[in-house]
Structures are given as C-alpha cells and as structure tokens.
Structure 1
Amino acid sequence: MPRVIFIEHDGVRREVDAPVGLSILEIAHQNDIELEGACEGSLACATCHVIVDDEWWSKLGPASEEEEDMLDLAFGLEKTSRLGCQIIMSEELDGIVIHLPKQS
C-alpha cells in the first residue's frame, strides 16, 4: 500500500498507509493527524492547507481555479501550498512528503 509522510507542526515525522483514491485530508483524519478540514473537503475553506515537499510538487496536477481561490485565504501560504482535500492518493504518490503549516 502507498504511504504518505506527514511532517507535523512540531517537526515530528509520521509515515502512514495511504489508500489509493483517498485525499490527503481523509488520510490525515484516519490517522489522527491534526488537519482540520472544516468544510469536509467541499472546497469551501482553506483549513486543510498543506505544503507539499519540493521534490513532489511536480508530480501533482495543477490546482484548479477554485482551489487557488481558497488557497488565497490560507495562513502561511508557500509556493508549494495545496489543499489536502484536493490531493488524491495514487500509486505514483507513494512516499509523498506533506508538511503541515505552522499554526497562527
């Protein structure tokens, strides 16, 4: 099974199973990783903002216009920021490194 590596707010690294077809937000919730997702993945907020490790950024498809609009509301936005609800796990993303942004 593919894996996701989360780097939590405090720098702790957690490697978890990542079923294909689930979003990074869903995978985080299944593993008690602190990623809010207030709108439950409906692309209506930016509370599942994550920062994709540079080496994985090019492996993701481009963000939609709706995702870009929501990202504009995110705290601590970086060039590799995405919404966790919009990154869908695939075999090609096995080992992806996701950083949780520092909390405000």
Structure 2
Amino acid sequence: MPKIVFIQPDGSSQTVEAPVGQSLMEAATNNFVRGIVGECGGSCSCATCHLYIDEAWYAKLPPRDEMEEAMIEGAIDPGPTSRLGCQVLVKDELDGIVAHVPKAQF
C-alpha cells in the first residue's frame, strides 16, 4: 500500500499506509492524523481537510477543479500548493507523498 507522510506545523510527522483509491482525507482521519477533520465526509464542501502538498509532489497531482478552487479560497491561509485532502486520491505513483497540515482548519 502507498505511504503518505503528514507533517504537522511543529515539524513532527506521521506516516500512514492507504489503499489505492482512498482519499488523503480518509487516510488521515482513519489514522487519527491531528488537524484533519473532514467534517463534510469528503463531499468537497467544507475545507476542513485542507493540506499543503509538498512542492515535489504537487505537479504529480491532477489540477484542482472549480469546486475545489472555490473551497480552497475559503480555507485558512491557502497557498499555491493547497489541496483538499478529500479530492486527492491515493495512487501507486504517489507512494511517499508528503502533505503538510495547516496550523488551523475551520
């Protein structure tokens, strides 16, 4: 199973395994990653699974669609590599992806 590395704002990290097809949000909530809430359950309607994808991995992801763009605009402190974890699906090619958890979520 692919591994995902979640980096907390304090620099600590948690590596979890997730099956292909699961979202980063599901991988985080299923493994109790601090700071990822997933309040809407993955329907792209809350931004409580906001992540900053490490620049080395960001270009490997499909682009954000209009709905994700709109939700990210409402996230706390969005950045150029911001993604909603519910919209990023685990693939074998993403084994080792690094995602930074923001300091705060809504």
**Shorter chain as normaliser: what TM range?**
over 0.9
Aligned equivalent of 1:65: 66
Q: How many residue pairs were aligned?
A: 104
Aligned equivalent of 2:101: 100
AA aligned to 1:36 is V
CA distance in 2, matches of 1:103, 1:85: 17
Q: Is 1:26 the counterpart of 2:26 in the alignment?
A: yes
Q: Which runs of 4+ in 1 moved over 2 A?
A: none
RMSD over equivalenced CA pairs, Å: 1.0
Q: Which runs of 5 or more structure 1 residues have no equivalent in the other structure?
A: none
Task: Please say if residues 50 and 100 of structure 1, whose CA atoms lie closer than 8 Å, have aligned partners that are also in contact.
Answer: yes
CA distance in 2, matches of 1:66, 1:96: 23
TM-score of the superposed pair, with normalisation by structure 1: 0.96
Aligned equivalent of 1:17: 17
Identity of aligned residues (%): 48
| DSSP-derived class of the 1:4 partner | strand
Task: Please say if residues 52 and 99 of structure 1, whose CA atoms lie closer than 8 Å, have aligned partners that are also in contact.
Answer: yes
1:75-86 superposed matches below 5 A: 75-86=76-87
Instruction: Give a deviation string over 1:77-98, Cα, whole Å, max 9, x none.
Output: 1100000000000001000000
Q: Which runs of 5 or more structure 2 residues have no equivalent in the other structure?
A: none
Task: Please say if residues 25 and 37 of structure 1, whose CA atoms lie closer than 8 Å, have aligned partners that are also in contact.
Answer: yes
Aligned equivalent of 1:39: 40
Task: Please say if residues 23 and 84 of structure 1, whose CA atoms lie closer than 8 Å, have aligned partners that are also in contact.
Answer: yes
TM-score of the superposed pair, with normalisation by structure 2: 0.94
Q: Is 1:90 the counterpart of 2:91 in the alignment?
A: yes
